Amino acid sequence: MQNKLHFAAHGHTAAEVIYERADADQHMMGLTSFKGDHPTLRDAKIAKNYLSEEELKVLNNLVSGYFDFAEVQAMKHRAMYMKDYIQHLDAILSSTGEQLLNGCGTVSHEQAMEKAEREYRQFDVRTLSPVEQAYLDNIKILNKKVKGKK
């Protein structure tokens, strides 16, 4: 379900997004969203964190609309199985002209996680932690004070 929604929103599965966009050489590893001042490995393993603002908005709207449909089914006490939800999702997406995911995509979850970890390790080695950056900033301040006293 998640991959069908991702694919409809931007043409890639969640694993494909991570695999294609996780890049240690990019600013903040290619992430567009993460918690705190510095991305974590956990952040790097979440596909939504690589999406543009527009892609994320489309995805959120598709998910919201689909949850509304599922809630109505529950309110009406209609028995729904996963295959039913998949069929209905495909019908909704195709009726609105969205791309349908056929199959599982070109990248496995495992491949995406391995790539995210590999890129994150390279990124993290080259990036100062907030504590390290604060330490260097304090050294610069102290050097300026010492030079000012001479």
- Domain limits for position 36: 2-149
Q: How many domains does the chain have?
A: 1
7/10 Cα distance (integer angstroms): 5
Average of pLDDT values for 9-38?
Answer: 96
State the amino acid at position 28 in one-letter form: M
CB 100 within 8 A of CB 4: yes
Confidence (pLDDT) at 98? 93
Confidence (pLDDT) at 150? 61
What residues contact 108, with CB distance under 8 A and at least 6 apart? 15
2/101 Cα distance (integer angstroms): 11
Q: For 32-89, write each residue's pLDDT tens digit.
A: 999 988 899 999 999 999 999 999 999 999 999 999 999 999 999 999 999 999 999 9
CA 105 to chain centre: 17
Q: In degrees rounded to 5, what are phi and psi of residue 81? A: -110, 165
Q: For 103-149, write each residue's pLDDT tens digit.
A: 999 999 999 999 999 999 999 888 877 787 788 788 888 888 888 77
Confidence (pLDDT) at 132? 77
Confidence (pLDDT) at 139? 85
CB 35 within 8 A of CB 133: no
Instruction: Compute the half-sphere exposure of residue 102: CA atoms within 13 Å on the CB side of its CA.
Output: 2
